[in-house]
Amino acid sequence: MALSEDEADAVPLLVSNYHFVDEKNEPISFALLPIQWNKDEGVDGEKKDEMFLYGNMDNGLQRIYKEVVAWKFDLLDAIPEISVCTKDNVWIKLGKPRKSFEETIREVLITVHCLHFTRMNAEASGKSVWEYLSKAFG
């Protein structure tokens, strides 16, 4: 049964085994895109160059290649979520990156996870933060 447009909009898009490239097809971090701090505001910063998302959707059944223009993160769930916005203004959640791409975005992932942990555990010690990050990124 096909989804209606409203139902399709309600289903969050998730990409896995992803990586980002610039216009020269070189690996690049999505952190260079403008960030959206609040859903009620526009993006903060100016997009300088083209950036494209390659990845898999629908458990690997569908490959995507989309130009992206911004990124955001959400710290409210059990685990932090990072999303990118396509040129068509569609937000796509980032799942597990491609293994060879992990090092390119490692600093951003660690920073977002650190913010998430300290938001959820405001009284946590520095040692607790390091233990959490070691388990998450060991």
Show me where the domains of the chain are located.
11-137
Distance CA 64, CA 18 (A): 9
Angle at 114 between CA 109 and CA 117, to 5 degrees: 125
Cβ burial of 55 (10 Å; 0-12, 13-18, 19+) is buried
Per-residue pLDDT of the chain (138 residues; tens, 9 = 90+): 343 444 445 567 999 999 999 999 999 999 999 999 877 776 656 667 899 999 999 988 999 999 999 999 999 888 899 999 999 999 999 999 999 999 999 899 999 999 999 999 999 999 999 999 998 887
Q: Which two tokens stand for residue 133?
A: 């990050």
